[in-house]
Amino acid sequence: MPAKLSVNLNAVAMLRNRRDLPWPSVTGLGRIALAAGAHGLTVHPRPDERHTRYSDLPEIRALIDDEFPGAEFNIEGYPTEDFLALVEKNQPEQVTLVPDDPAQATSDHGWNFVAQAAFLTPIVKRLKKGGFRVSLFSDADPDAVSAARDTGADRIELYTGPYGGCHSYSAKAAKELERLGKTADAAFAAGLGVNAGHDLTVKNLPPLAKRIPALAEVSIGHGLTADALEYGMAGTVGRFLKACGW
């Protein structure tokens, strides 16, 4: 089975937050994504709510429950007490724990599973007890996988930023891809599932999916939103020209 696609709505939320207006609608774009066949929606609420707002989460939960009951809600973020309370309130199918500082523009590294084992293990236990699938954001490092497994998590999410940052399928991209592949191999051998995310595009996704055929899910925001703008621009200009009277 190919990897499932979870559409990350943070870029849409960031655009919405430029103005005190309700568009683009985060839930509305989520509905379009799910109606088009996406398997789930991802949000990454941060304490300053500069992207997804806390108030978006119950709306997305209701959208999935009422209209797309087979889809999954994935909430990702740094596990503060506030974040864990948000998760428990909004009941996602999956929680992805990310070691991002609140001031960081975007996630740019995975956990140090050995150094942060004592922090992560009880949190994973609490989330698992709550019935949530837990995934941990992970650098491409095959040696780190057994410590990730020891936290009790179900999956790792491979941080694909260094691969996606190569822009084209160069020798460097091939090297990054192989590191991701080796990490996935180690994760499968340890009994973990594997997700992936960051800077994935329609161009760099096929080689990743080929190298990691058992990839469970990709979570994509920036590249997908950029494509939605590019491929939706012509039709939208037509609608506005019509509104002008042309």
β-pair partners for 76 = 96
Q: Which residue has the tokens 């992805």?
A: 96
Of 90 and 204, nearer to ligand PXP (C-beta) is: 204
Residue whose CB is less far from ligand PXP, 10 or 65 = 10
Task: Decide if 201 contacts 163 (C-beta within 8 A).
Answer: no
113 scored as a contact of ligand PXP (CB under 6 A):
no
Nearer to ligand PXP, 83 or 137 (CB): 137
Considering only residues 40 to 59 of the shown chain, the ones binding ligand PXP according to CB under 6 A are 44
Q: In degrees, to the nearest 5, what angle opens at C-alpha 237 toward C-alphas 231 and 240? A: 145
Residue 78: CB atoms within 10 A of its CB come to 18
Q: Is 198 a catalytic residue?
A: yes
Structure tokens at 158: 């491979």
- Set 39, 51, 76, 157: catalytic member: 76
DSSP per position, 100-130: --TT-SS------TTTTHHHHHHHHHHHHHT
Examine the residue annotation and report whether 76 is marked as an active-site residue of this protein. yes
| Enclosing H/E stretch for 157 | strand 155-159
Nearest residue to the partner ligand PXP, using Cβ: 197
Which range binds ligand PXP by CB under 6 A, 63-71, 146-154, 165-173, 218-226? 218-226
Do 110 and 136 form a contact (C-beta atoms < 8 A)? yes
**Based on CB atoms, which residue is closest to ligand PXP, 98 or 120?**
98
Interface with ligand PXP, residue 198, by CB under 6 A: yes
Q: Which spans of this chain sit near ligand PXP (rule: CB under 6 A)?
A: 8, 10, 44, 76, 96, 98, 106-107, 137, 157, 197-200, 219-223
By annotation, the residues acting in catalysis are 44, 76, 198
